[in-house]
Amino acid sequence: MRVLLAEDDRRIAEDVARGLRDSGYLVEIVGDGEEAWFRGDTEDYAAIILDLGLPRLDGLTILKRWRDGGRRTPVLILTARGSWAERVDGIDAGADDYLPKPFQMEELLARLRSIVRRSAGHASSVIHIGEVTLDERQMQIRVRGEQVALSPLEYRLASYLVLHRGRVVSQFELSENIYGQDDAHDSNAIEVLVGRVRRKLGTELIETRRGFGYIVPGEEA
């Protein structure tokens, strides 16, 4: 999944980005408030990690602009200032969660998974669709209880579609959330990838809607 990380401290940004990438996320880093606002306002992300103390435009102002403009991307706020009043301001401005610095990477990942799940209508990190089980925390997919060996690309595609079950996802949206900015891929790469995932997880899991995209239909088991 594609995540925007708005953090002006280069060391923190690099450490967080490394942890996110190790957990399967595609990360774009910005260190400037104006650029963070523009990216979040014009591009679609699975989630945004937003530091409040950004230069040129502070995080709280950025968040208010996004919400006033109708942007509903899940936002996790980071800040070195952990007063209760500031937390209230952040939540009232539309933040989905709040994490004071310093923090453990494991907690950030857990909170990030939670806000992405909630935005897609899921309460648990383990999601069951028929005979398929997605475990976000372990980054595993099982079929009838047996773990399936998936490449990082295959896992990202399958997990994205499962998290957004019941909604048609376009090839463009899938490409944005599966491939990194520097990953070269041709026009039929998504179709080929979907074919590989179907062979591993079962042909009935992912349906094709010609001219629109792909969908994992149905409700959770």
What pLDDT band is residue 197 in, cutting at 50, 70 and 90? very high
Mean of all residue pLDDT scores within the chain: 90
Helix axes 59-68, 84-93, angle to 10 degrees: 30
What is the Cα–Cα distance from 220 to 57, expressed in whole angstroms? 41
What is the Cα–Cα distance from 181 to 48, expressed in whole angstroms? 17
What pLDDT band is residue 176 in, cutting at 50, 70 and 90? confident
What pLDDT band is residue 117 in, cutting at 50, 70 and 90? confident
- Which residues partner with 146 through β-bridges? 143
- The CATH 1.10.10.10 domain(s) of the chain lie at 126-215
What pLDDT band is residue 120 in, cutting at 50, 70 and 90? confident
- Which residues partner with 126 through β-bridges? 135
Residue 142: is its pLDDT beyond 80?
yes
- Second CATH level (architecture) for the domain 126-215: Orthogonal Bundle (1.10)
- For tokens 């376009």, name the residue: 170
Residue 220: is its pLDDT beyond 70?
no
More confident residue, 79 or 68: 68
- The CATH 3.40.50.2300 domain(s) of the chain lie at 2-119
Residue 80: is its pLDDT beyond 90?
no
Q: How many CB atoms lie within 10 A of CB 11?
A: 8
- Second CATH level (architecture) for the domain 2-119: 3-Layer(aba) Sandwich (3.40)
- What is the average pLDDT across 80-108? 84
- Give 181-192 pLDDT, tens digit per residue: 656 567 689 999
